[in-house]
Amino acid sequence: MNSSIEPAEAEGAATAFDYRLAHALTVDGRAPLHRLAQVLGVSDQTLARRYSRLRSAGLLRVVAQTAPARLGEVEWFLRIQCTPDAAAPLAETLARRPETAWVHLTSGGTEIICEARYPAGSGQDGEAPLFQRLPRTPQVVGISAARVLHTFFGGRSSPFEKKGALTPAEVAALDPGRADPPPLSTGPPPVVLDAGDRRLIAALVVDGRAPLATLAEATGWSQTTVRRRLNHLLETGALYLDIEASRHYFGHDATSILWLTVEPSGLAAVGTALAAHPQIAFAVAITGVANVLAVVLCRDSAGLYDYLTTRIAELPAVRQIEIAPVIRTVKTVTT
């Protein structure tokens, strides 16, 4: 067995092995160490050391995420234009809100883009959504909100899958064989989480590979109950395992949010095309004049320019594009 891993220069850039490890963990984030090592062609000890080093450095880790649609939640994206002195403090405040999943500072630090999740029907019988309650102060000069209608790429799908670091045979050796859950419109009703489920998810958000004993301690359940409930949440699609990776370490120094205005007749085709682009980490159809939101990962500004003038330019239904460079990520679903 080949146990050599080419080191990164002062941990400044990911190695080919790191990409293979990241891809493997997107296939099955809780795969046993010995199975990961066997597929990746290294010893158990070598793999354990490498993942521990990457995780402790904040470069790569397995995390749990919930799927809003399977929990009966509605996703909204908010754009908040602020004066430069107000953007960062407001972003920090939004990051502390339980309903926010992503909070980014963009456009030179004068705009906040965040995702918020609410139970279906929020604002009708209960508390109004966040974007209806934001303070109208001179520092907040504009607010708009768009509801997610359809996901083209994201959630359980990872951009690491598009890089082809693993062969199809290696992916098959790791694939736990879980089918995509059916949509709510044709499938079972939303999954209802109890207090124990939420404790389980909270522990997995911290460490998606936490051992059963740790999860049992966090939930107060037996290990058998933890295993059974975790499998249920994964199989219903309410929960999935993802990886959190350093954009800089994996060569994505030019991360931007794209707002695309697309001809309605070409919306599905554009979304399908974006989902196949290696640069796209997330793409959804939304309400509003700009009816597609996408997150694009490029190595640098030249790479972003090349992507816009080739792959995006090839999509005839795209009428207009607005680019919001991400300056800082204040919150992810795991923070």
Predicted pLDDT at 4? 36
Tokens representing residue 82 in the block: 């602020």
Q: Does residue 136 register a pLDDT over 80?
A: no
Q: CATH top-level class for 73-152?
A: alpha beta
pLDDT tens-digit series, residues 78-119: 999 998 889 999 999 899 988 898 999 998 889 999 999 988
The answer to whether 73-152 and 251-331 have equal CATH topology is yes
pLDDT tens-digit series, residues 230-252: 999 998 889 999 999 999 999 99
Predicted pLDDT at 126? 45
Q: Does residue 305 register a pLDDT over 50?
A: yes
Q: Which whole number is the average pLDDT over 60-64?
A: 95
Q: Which whole number is the average pLDDT over 171-178?
A: 82
Predicted pLDDT at 9? 41
User: What value does the mean pLDDT of the chain take?
Assistant: 89
6-20, 47-61, 251-265: least confidently modelled range: 6-20
Q: How confident is the model at residue 289 (pLDDT cuts 50, 70, 90)?
A: very high
Measured between alpha carbons, how far is 197 from 307 in angstroms, rounded to an integer?
A: 42
Do residues 250 and 19 touch, judged by C-beta distance below 8 A? yes
Tokens representing residue 291 in the block: 């009816």
Query: What global pTM score does this model have?
Result: 0.88
Measured between alpha carbons, how far is 96 from 74 in angstroms, rounded to an integer?
A: 19
Residue 68, C-beta contacts closer than 8 angstroms, at least 6 positions apart = 74, 75, 117
What fold is seen in the domain 251-331?
Alpha-Beta Plaits (3.30.70)
Alpha carbon distance, N-terminus to C-terminus of the chain = 37
Q: What is the DSSP string of 213-269?
A: HHHHHHHT--HHHHHHHHHHHHHHTSEEEEEEE-TTTTT--EEEEEEEEE-GGGHHH
Do residues 233 and 239 touch, judged by C-beta distance below 8 A? yes
Predicted pLDDT at 210? 97
Q: CATH top-level class for 9-67+161-245?
A: mainly alpha
Other beta carbons within 10 Å of 208: 22
Query: Quick one: which of 289, 285, 287 has its CA closest to 146?
Result: 287
Do residues 176 and 320 touch, judged by C-beta distance below 8 A? no
Q: Does residue 24 register a pLDDT over 60?
A: yes
Measured between alpha carbons, how far is 203 from 239 in angstroms, rounded to an integer?
A: 13
Q: What are the residue boundaries of the structural domains of the chain, listed by start?
A: 9-67+161-245, 73-152, 251-331
Helix pair 223-236, 212-219: axis angle to 10 deg: 90
